[in-house]
Structure 1
Amino acid sequence: MSPPDLPDALISVMSGIQRLIKRRLLRESTTGPRLRGAQVELLRLVSATPGIGVSAAAKELYLAGNSVSTLVNQLTAAGLLRREPGHDDRRSARLLPTPQAEARLRVWHERRARLVREQVERLDETDRNALTAALPALRRLADGLRAEVERP
């Protein structure tokens, strides 16, 4: 593959894998309301950084503050997020996952990991080695994209 074709091929394959994983997981029954991608991303972020504020979450997810506020309202109404007053500024809110959200994320993570693990195990050793060898380059690509997005 020539270098000019690589970016399009990479984007196509990566987004296709992500879409297929989401579709497969959505087919399996889950308890509670069905969540959209941005809602799951916010829940995962709050679970990883309990107490994060709305503006910090918006910055981390590269979303507008009002979009994150809407997501917070939806997830709070669904019983998946809790808001607590900020430590320094009582007008700010700290976001915390509920036990229901933590359980849901744990099940989702286990199902996703199992799905991908099963598919990776079906690959031959040469393909598994190629994927392993590509991980450092993919991480550097992700770091470069993150730095580009964060640049003013």
Structure 2
Amino acid sequence: MPDLSLGDEAAVNALRSAVMRLSRRLKHQRVDESLSPTEMSVLGTLARCGRATPGELARKEHVQPPSMTRIVALLEAKGLVRLEPHPDDRRQKVVTQTEQAEAMLEESRRRRNAFLATLTEQLDEDEWAKLRAAAPVLEKLAHL
């Protein structure tokens, strides 16, 4: 960890704690309780990035390829992804989300957005402006 001043260390600690608590609260807004957070994350990655091989998904999700193979098999059994032949490499498959997954993700986003909107109603205008300004920075941190 880099050398931080006491003030910066306190800020990092507060940020970590707040992000974790908010994340846990958002996870409770799930549409399908039968999906693990990792399965939901894979579906979200497919929604953002489009179709991908299991190896590409494993890299993006920071899991080992055998683990991703199991996750994809579970999602396929639930009708949320389909495996298609790779256009250039017959040895590989490409994972694509289904319409059922798209609808589920949309409902999940709607529910979580509504939850956050309800929380933000408790903020004053200055707090809300600061949070809007922080959103791109938090997004950047999430993808570093």
Question: TM-score, length-normalised on structure 2?
Answer: 0.87
- Among 3, 6, 19, the residue aligned to 2:8: 3
Shift of 1:48: 2.5
- Structure 1 gaps of 5+ residues are 147-152
Which consecutive residues of structure 2, in runs of 5 or more, have no partner in the other structure?
A: 1-5
Q: Does 2:111 match 1:111?
A: yes
Judge which range, 72-81 or 43-52, deviates more: 43-52
Instruction: Report how many aligned residue pairs link the two structures.
Output: 139
1:119 CA drift (Å):
1.1
Q: Runs of at least 4 residues of structure 1 off by over 2 A?
A: 47-51, 132-143
The 5 Å alignment of 1:1-152 reads 2-23=7-28, 25-26=29-30, 30=31, 34-142=34-142, 146=144
SS at match of 2:90: coil
Deviation at 1:21, TM superposition (A): 1.0
Name the residue aligned to 1:149.
Answer: none
When the two chains are superposed, the root-mean-square deviation of aligned CA atoms in Å is: 1.8
| Letter in structure 2 aligned against 1:109 | R
Taking the aligned partners of 1:142 and 1:43, their CA distance within structure 2 comes to 17
1:139 Cα offset (Å): 4.0
1:150 is aligned to none
